[in-house]
């Protein structure tokens, strides 16, 4: 299988790319060429999903990608009234529009071979909502709707589509978002039932399972991997 992981230069995407190298040919994309080269992947494509992504779309077609992991995302912690149109458009472009377009480029090859796996990395914020992250939350919620509709469209072709919604994860993005918020790390951990952050390896191993034949019956699902955060406090 030919796997593409977006946002693989760091964080969750980097760990996913590493984990999946044991099951297929992994290609990666992101903005940092040096970091992508360090992934030891089969190949990489430098691309900023908030801008022109036609080069990445062509890359998907050229490499016959049949496993697409839409991991790349951007987060802004701010009241909606303080955000300008450029910020709003950038978040929706990166978190929702780009994944949809990349999926559209991967589907023809998946249909031809009657097999494929699409995994969208959402967020628990897209399930529950997060104050002062309305654009991020709504863009991630959009991935869930996209996932459910596409799962119905593609089921007869043996293509599964699922979303993983991580809660607080021990990554640079997760820690930076704490710094931007009004809460400390201890205060946030206090709201999580398991009293811990999810490790990126947990997300990566769930991706690996969803790709496997054992998970062929799982499609159209929005899976919360959040240490219990979505259940309540």
Work out the angle at residue 191's Cα, subtended by the Cα atoms of residues 185 and 193, and round it to the nearest 5 degrees. 120
Structure tokens at 131: 């104050």
d(CA 169, CA 192): 12
Which CA distances in Å does 117 have to 4, 38, 52, 96, 155?
11, 25, 24, 18, 11
Residue pair 26/6 in contact (Cβ under 8 Å)? The answer is: no
Nearest to 163 by CA among 198, 201, 210, 116: 210
| Catalytic annotation, pick one of 75, 77, 132, 136 | 136
Active-site residue, 136 included = yes
Go through the chain and tell me how many residues it has: 233
Q: How far apart are CA 27 and CA 112, in angstroms?
A: 20
CB 144 within 8 A of CB 222: yes
Residues with active-site annotation? 136
């Amino acid at each position: 299988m030919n796997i593409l992981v977006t946002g693989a230069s760091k964080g969750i995407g980097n760990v996913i790319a590493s984990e999946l190298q044991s099951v297929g040919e992994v290609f990666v994309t992101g903005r940092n060429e040096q970091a992508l080269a360090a992934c030891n992947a089969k190949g990489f494509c430098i691309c900023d999903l908030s801008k022109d992504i036609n080069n990445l779309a062509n890359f998907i077609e050229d490499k016959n990608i049949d496993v697409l992991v839409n991991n790349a995302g951007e987060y802004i912690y701010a009241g909606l009234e303080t955000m300008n149109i450029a910020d709003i458009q950038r978040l929706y472009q990166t978190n929702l529009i780009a994944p949809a377009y990349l999926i559209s480029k991967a589907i023809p090859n998946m249909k031809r071979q009657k097999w494929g796996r699409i995994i969208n990395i959402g967020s628990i914020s897209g399930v529950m909502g997060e104050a002062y992250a309305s654009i991020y939350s709504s863009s991630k919620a959009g991935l869930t709707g996209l996932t459910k509709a596409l799962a119905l469209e593609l089921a007869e072709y043996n293509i599964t589509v699922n979303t993983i919604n991580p809660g607080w994860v021990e990554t640079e993005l997760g820690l930076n978002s704490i710094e931007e918020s009004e809460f400390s790390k201890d205060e946030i951990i206090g709201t999580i039932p398991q009293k811990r952050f999810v490790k990126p390896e947990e997300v990566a191993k769930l991706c690996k399972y969803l790709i496997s034949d054992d998970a062929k019956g799982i499609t159209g699902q929005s899976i919360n991997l959040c240490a219990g955060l979505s259940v309540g406090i």
